[in-house]
Amino acid sequence: MSNPEVNTGKNTKLARPRGTRDLLPSEMERRRFVESRLRDVAERWCYREVATPAFESLELFTLKSGAAIVDELYSFTDKGGRSLALRPELTAPIARLYVNELQSAPKPLKLYYFGDCFRYERPQSGRYRQFWQFGIELIGSALPEADAEVIALAQRMLESVALDVSIHVGSLEVLRTIFCDVDDETCALAMRLIDKGDFDRLGELPGGDRAIDLITATDPLSEAQNIVALDHLLCVLELLDTLGVSYAVDFGIARGLEYYTGIVFEAYSGELGAQNQVLGGGSYRLAHLFGGEDVPSTGFGIGFDRIIDAVNLQVPELPRLLVVPTSDARSYALHVANELRSSLVTDIDVMGRTVRAQLAYANSAGFDYAVIIGKKEMQTSKLTLRNLRTGEQALLDVEQIINLVLSNK
């Protein structure tokens, strides 16, 4: 019996790594279109893009999330003996970037980012080992206005890709007041259980039953006002009303991470199944863990792959032209193709095909128009434009072709 890992000298078809995907042209067009919508909204709200390395010091993530996270990371030791990890998320790298590069910049800082992340976990529907995040961070303000702006921005971004979502807003201040008499470890455990919705285990903790009563209350705001003053939360909700944001108050949001400090929020899509959360965020303090000042921040991360699964946007298709020269018109056709490319999506044969074969290729590859160039076209500078959908054709110069095609988009 042969060992499948032995190199037999024959070419082997290699599969992609488990938990990853190959994204084909049509899928990339859809992803880039959605990404462009999100970028447009962020930039109109005066957020500016930043980018961080795909790998960071391992300590960056263990400081934030604890040593247990190592089992979920793609971590490694480089040739210099440094412990590194592919980034599993982007909030910690942005906080590190702030500490290293932007502490002296005027506040507030309004940043956005888009990048791929890596987690070593069991692949399942909608979850991959390589995935993408689009995120927003507002650094430098602890006021209700900052929280409200970020939540409103989240809604606008999701609206921009025609995604109908339900936004839930909560407050960790209320939850932590319930567990103020327990040790830090028990409080952290309670937050994780609330985040997972594990009420059975939560009920076994001191204060757990009271937390469950709050989370399941018909009127959670009234219930919460019996626990702690809600001035900040109520101000945020009033601002959201002013901004036209639809929301539900939900004290079952804990986010499960200890660096969150106050307002927390999530967005859910009815287009997805059980894994229906597409966005999560809140106010936090993280920079001081990485040697910076203790600065308040508010932000969110969008699960870009889940957004792609949920949205049903029609990606606009630009008309595509194929320049089809005869064998003696190829040099002239290159000049024509360059002129057309200034305004239109244009291709030209590089396979040495006959005119007939080029036209067959144009039809099978889904081109909208063919620009046929032979001796007559070279002499008159009038090119034969054929509409491959209708079969109609006309003799036009380059400028007329551009105007006609653009008017028929």
* pLDDT per position as a tens digit, 84-110: 999 999 999 999 999 999 999 999 999
Which residue pairs, CB below 8 angstroms and at least 24 apart, start in 16-22? 17/129, 18/123, 18/129, 19/121, 19/123, 19/128, 19/129, 19/130, 20/128, 20/129, 20/130, 21/128, 21/130
What Å distances lie between residue 301 and 40, 60, 133, 309, 337, CA to CA?
16, 18, 6, 16, 42
Does some domain include residue 3?
A: no
Q: pLDDT of 272-327, one tens digit each?
A: 877 789 999 999 999 998 999 999 999 999 999 999 988 888 888 899 999 999 99
Q: Is residue 182 part of a domain?
A: yes
- pLDDT number for residue 66: 66
Q: Give the type of residue at 234.
A: L
User: What's the structural domain count of the chain?
Assistant: 2
Are residues 172 and 43 part of one domain? Answer: yes
The CA distance from 60 to 340, in Å, is 50
Contact 164, 269 (CB under 8 A): yes
Q: Are residues 239 and 355 in the same domain?
A: no
Decide if 5 is inside a domain: no
Residues 296 and 328 in one domain: no
Residues 188 and 330 in one domain: no
Helices (H) and strands (E) in the chain, counts: 15, 16
Q: Confirm whether 245 is domain-assigned.
A: yes
What CA–CA distance (Å, rounded) separates 176 from 227?
10
Asked if the structure places residue 15 within a domain, the reply is no
In the sheet that holds 83-86, the strands lie side by side as 55-57, 83-86, 75-77
Kindly report, residue by residue over 122-146, the tens digit of the pLDDT.
877 767 899 999 999 999 999 999 9
| Confidence at residue 11, expressed as pLDDT on a 0 to 100 scale | 75
Q: Residue 224: pLDDT above 90?
A: no
Last residue of a domain, one of 286, 310, 334: 310
DSSP string, 295-340: --EEEEEEEHHHHHHH---------EEEEEE-GGGHHHHHHHHHHH
Q: Are residues 182 and 91 in the same domain?
A: yes
Contacts of 199 (CB under 8 A, 6+ apart): 193, 212, 215
Determine which of 17-26, 101-110, 266-275 has the lowest per-residue pLDDT on average: 266-275
The answer to whether residues 95 and 146 belong to one domain is yes
Q: Say if residue 246 is in the same domain as residue 215.
A: yes
- pLDDT tens for each residue of 167-210: 999 998 888 888 887 887 888 888 888 888 888 998 888 888 88
Q: Which pair of structure tokens corresponds to residue 174?
A: 């209320």
* pLDDT averaged over every residue in the chain: 90
Task: Quote the pTM value.
Answer: 0.87
In a domain, 16, yes or no: no
Q: What is the mean pLDDT of residues 345-372?
A: 96
Assess if residue 181 is contained within a domain. Answer: yes
Among 259, 289, 310, give the residue marking a domain's end.
310
Residue 280 and residue 170 share a domain: yes
Position 5 scores a pLDDT of 46
Band of residue 74 on the pLDDT scale cut at 50, 70, 90: very high
- CATH number, domain containing residue 375: 3.40.50.800
Start-end of H helices in 218-303: 220-225, 231-242
For residue 364, which phi and psi values (nearest 5 degrees)?
Answer: -70, -30
* The pLDDT value given to residue 352: 92
The domain of 201 spans 25-310
Residues 302 and 379 in one domain: no
Q: Is residue 2 part of a domain?
A: no
- The pLDDT value recorded for residue 37 is 96
CATH of the domain at 199: 3.30.930.10
Per cent of the chain over pLDDT 90 is: 66
Domain identity same for 330 and 251: no
Do residues 341 and 230 share a domain? no
Among 108, 253, 105, residue whose Cα is nearest residue 169: 253
Q: Say if CB 134 and CB 113 are below 8 A apart.
A: yes
- CB-based contacts of 133, cutoff 8 Å, min separation 6: 89, 90, 113, 114, 115, 116, 117, 301, 302, 303, 304
Which of 250, 283, 310 is the endpoint of a domain?
Answer: 310
Virtual torsion, Cα 333, 337, 338, 344, nearest 10 deg: 170
CA distance 289 to 273: 36
Say whether both 331 and 360 belong to one domain.
yes
Indicate the range of 61-65, 89-93, 119-123 predicted with least confidence: 61-65
The pLDDT-based confidence of 151 (bands split at 50, 70, 90) is very high
